[in-house]
Structure 1
Amino acid sequence: MTERSGQAGDATEGPVPTTPVCYRHPDRETYLRCTRCDRPICPECMRDASVGHQCPECVAEGRRSVRPARTAFGGGAAGRHGTVTKVLIALNVLVMVISIASARSGSAIAGGGLGGLMGGGTPLTEWGAVLGLARFPDGSIGGVADGQWYRLVTAMFLHYGLLHLLLNMWGLWVLGRSLEALLGPLRFLALYLLAGLGGNVAAYVFTEPNRFTAGASTAIFGLFAAIFVIMRRLGRDTSAIVPILVINLVFTFTVPSISVAGHLGGLVVGAVTALVLAYAPRMRRNVFQAAGVAIVLVALIGMAVVRTAALAG
């Protein structure tokens, strides 16, 4: 009896098995474990993984160790959403509404060139369009050569009438989403702004100083050139792009109210910028792309400075 009692006492004094609890919620019992670190996790903390389930910390660590997806030219994959394209379109439409409101007449919508389909000028286009140097009816002098450098940027967001706006926004919608997806948002925005600026600088340099020019078509022609360059770089078919570009060039040279210098300037700068972005060597690609874009920008500023000196002198 004594021997049996001693054995029984030994059994009761041994370790008592316990149920595992979640490492984040000690009051919750669980038999689930993270497949990565083997810690107990409750159903609330359980995260689906490629193999089994993981705890929140292991999932976060895995995300940090995965490199973000990049495009073939180093841009972010977020460009596939076309956010920059949509914002640019919204901005152009907003500026058009403000322009119409500033005119307080129907001439801002139609009644201008192309048989009355194009709109006329407004106080806003008079303020922001590219203008070399001219004297206004009130006797004041204005233009880029008079220090109004902002015109080289604002002009790419101004339009003469709804038809002018719709044609350019259609081109931006079609070309912009494809280029933004290929280049990424930041590179696409740099391309768009440089092409627009390049067209405006060309209009400033090669157009009569007292002529107003405005419109997003400077940037749109840059996008046409860019999509051609980038598609060739990727080895894709460009046969559908060439006829559209040729048609637009025919309109450029045959319609009197269109700025030939602006369109060709945007086309050339868009092509050069696309070459920089598409053919930068993979090693230190970001540095080469940034340097190339900066060189193009400095060259445009230099052309504008030389033209200003000629007009102001």
Structure 2
Amino acid sequence: MSTDPSPAPETSVPTCYRHPGRETYVRCTRCDRYICADCMRDAAVGHQCVECVAEGNRGVRRARPVTPLGARGPASAVPAVTYSLIGLCVLAYLAELSSWQVITDYMMVGQAALRSGDVIGVAEGEWYRLFTSMFLHQRGGSFGITHILFNMWALWALGPALEQVLGRWRFLALYLLSGLGGSVLLYLVDPGNSAVGASGAIFGLFGAYFVIGRRLGGQVGPIVFLLVINLVITFSVPDISWEGHVGGLVVGAALAVGFAYAPAAHRRLVHIGASVAMLALLATLVLVKTAELSPSI
């Protein structure tokens, strides 16, 4: 007896889950769905689909780029330190406009015994004046508002580039130590005088920009021109603290040499060491000068 065999069952051809019209026999090793050539992404074993790759990348911490001087680039491109410093100077200036006492209490005064009035200076124990003076600016006199306007313009023009290549903490150290260097030189040379302004820190940025520009092979002509013009103004216009400008310039350039020419194998250690050593040197100079002035207090 003959039998009529039933027809063979039809088998469905698998297709890509993202492109149903494309036949494929490759499965994602993570979710086991069929994927076509356009949806395949190489994995350690086999292939994964685009959704599984994206899901996996969400938990991966991406390495931040390293600048030529060894600083890791910030997660954000916004120069936060530069803008914060500008904001502090502007807030301090607004406080000055509300009361002259702000300048009296926080300006740089080396030795009050050499001045009239009831101001207490660095030699008498108010060491904070070495730092606070770099956030204050003249609110009147021969310069007026141009004092803070020029300094903030220079900080806005130079700060972002230096902050990007140095990283935030190095840039902040450069700024503060340069400003401190200007105050210290004034204290050493003319302790009876007073001063305010971010000019010492700004001149430190000038010096650092030149050193780092040379190290990285950039154009330094414009910064040299700007620096020369400002030095001419420093020594030709009365009522300008040349000590603050020169002190900041020397400290900024010296610290930039340590940042720019540190050996790659020990770069971070050298950068920290250079900052700490500069702070220690400036503190030692202040201590020595204070001891020298003590008999006359």
- TM-score norm. by structure 2 comes to 0.80
Cα gap change, 1:93/1:67 in structure 2, threshold over 3 Å: closer, same or farther?
Answer: same
| 1:218 CA drift (Å) | 0.3
Q: Which amino acid is 1:222 matched to?
A: G
Unaligned runs of 5+ in 2: 18-27, 140-144
Q: Does 1:281 align with 2:278?
A: no
Residue type matched to 1:72 in 2? P
Structure 1: unaligned runs, 5 residues or longer:
47-53, 103-121
**Aligned pairs for 1:43-122 within 5 A:** 45=51, 54-57=53-56, 59-60=57-58, 63-64=60-61, 67-78=63-74, 80-102=77-99, 122=100
SS at structure 2 position matched to 1:165:
helix
Write out per-residue CA displacement over residues 4-59 of structure 1, whole angstroms, 9 at most, x where no aligned residue. 99x99xx99xxx999999x9xx9xx8858772454567xxx46xxxxxxx1412x1
Distance in 2 separating the partners of 1:20 and 1:174 = 54
Q: 2:227 aligns with which of 229, 233, 245?
A: 245
- Shift of the 56–89 alpha-carbon distance from structure 1 to 2, 3 Å rule, reads same
Distance 1:281 1:40 in 2: 44
Cα shift readout 1:54-73 (whole Å, capped 9, x = no counterpart): 1412x146x43x53201100
Letter in 2 for 1:67: A
8 Å contact from structure 2 (residues 112, 124) kept in 1:
no
Displacement of 1:142 in angstroms is 0.6
Which residue of 109, 120, 134 corresponds with 1:142? 120
Q: In 2 relative to 1, CA 137–74 (structure 1 residues): closer, same or farther, beyond 3 Å?
A: closer
Range 289-298 or range 238-247, more displaced: 238-247
Summarize the alignment of residues 5-16 of structure 1 with structure 2, pairs less than 5 Å apart: none
Distance 1:310 1:127 in 2: 24
Q: Is the 8 A contact 2:105 2:119 kept in 1?
A: no
Query: 2:24 aligns to what?
Result: none
Distance in 2 of aligned mates of 1:31 and 1:234:
48
Q: Which residue of 1 aligns with 2:171?
A: 188
User: How does 1:145-184 map onto structure 2 within 5 Å?
Assistant: 145-161=123-139, 162-184=145-167
Alpha-carbon RMSD across the aligned residues, in angstroms, is 3.2
Aligned-residue sequence identity (percent) comes to 41
Quickly say closer, same or farther: Cα 1:96–1:139, change in 2 above 3 A.
Answer: closer
Q: Is the 8 A contact 2:104 2:119 kept in 1?
A: no
Between Structure 1 and Structure 2, how many residues are aligned?
273
- TM-score for both structures, normalised by structure 1: 0.76
Distance change >3 Å, CA 307–CA 137, structure 1 → 2:
closer
Q: How far off is 1:81 after superposition?
A: 2.8
